[in-house]
Amino acid sequence: MKNTAVYPGSFDPPTNGHLDVIARASRLFPRLIVAVTDNQNKTPTHTLEERLLMLRGITKNIPGVSVEIFSGLLVNYLKKKNARVIIRGLRAVSDFEYEFQLALMNRKLSPSIETVFLMPDEKYVYLSSSMVNEVARLGGSVDCFVPPLVRAQVIKKCRHSNP
Ligand code: PNS
């Protein structure tokens, strides 16, 4: 299925920047799978289940979008889904080196899979999931960084956690 794209990531938590990329990708591809990594090496703030619920909640009105968990190599997951396109958001030059490495590694592993980079609206270029968690943990407002559903989860999880 040529028209399926996969947007992989940690989404810990999903931000307005992620949602902006999802909306853009969904206008380009009739089917978009938002794929949450279950990478055991990272210790996420929000559980896999919580991230899945947040993503499903905030994307429920976007046509063609589904949310799944994936494990193992991303390119193997794409093959299983008959997908050929990886979507990644590119915010600033600071993202470039890692994204370049990731895209070329994935190309080496599977030459028929292409990575497509989408730029979020410029008002989100400074935004990151880890900063959202930190702002919430330290008592700041995250209202303009995440959708309301995510805000509730972030406050519940971070507000009373130890710095
Ligand atoms: O949101 P993130 O943390 O930048 O997402 C990184 C992610 C999940 C896209 C990347 O770590 C990934 O693809 N992990 C799966 C394992 C894999 O295929 N790695 C690439 C080859 S080393």
Residue 2 has pLDDT above 70, yes or no: no
Q: Could you tell me if the CB of 73 is within 6 A of ligand 1?
A: yes
Q: Could you tell me if the CB of 8 is within 6 A of ligand 1?
A: yes
pLDDT bucket at 93, cuts 50 / 70 / 90 = confident
For 101-159, give the secondary structure using H, E and C. Answer: HHHHHHHHHCCCCEEEEECCCHHHCCCCHHHHHHHHHCCCCCCCCCCHHHHHHHHHHHC
Q: 122: CA distance to ligand 1 center in Å? A: 24
Every domain of the chain and the residues it spans: 4-125
Q: Does the annotation mark 42 as catalytic?
A: yes
Nearest atom in ligand 1 to 74's CA: 18
Q: Does the annotation mark 108 as catalytic?
A: no
Residue 119 has pLDDT above 70, yes or no: yes
Angle at 36 between CA 135 and CA 96, to 5 degrees: 70
- The helix/strand/coil state of 160 is coil
Q: 117: CA distance to ligand 1 center in Å? A: 15
Q: How many angstroms separate the Cα of 82 from the Cα of each of 4, 47, 64, 67?
A: 7, 27, 15, 16
Q: Looking at domain 4-125, which CATH architecture does it have? A: 3-Layer(aba) Sandwich (3.40)
Distance, CA of 142 to CA of 149 (rounded, Å):
12
β 31-37/65-70 pair status: parallel
CB neighbours of 30 closer than 8 A, spacing ≥ 6? 3, 4, 64
pLDDT at position 159: 76
Distance, CA of 32 to CA of 25 (rounded, Å):
7
- Residue of 121 and 159 predicted with greater confidence: 121
Nearest atom in ligand 1 to 10's CA: 1
pLDDT at position 1: 45
Residue 16 has pLDDT above 60, yes or no: yes
Q: Report the chain's terminal Cα–Cα distance, integer Å.
A: 45
Q: 114: CA distance to ligand 1 center in Å? A: 15
Residue nearest to atom 4 of ligand 1 (CA): 9
Q: Are 110 and 79 in contact (CB under 8 A)?
A: yes
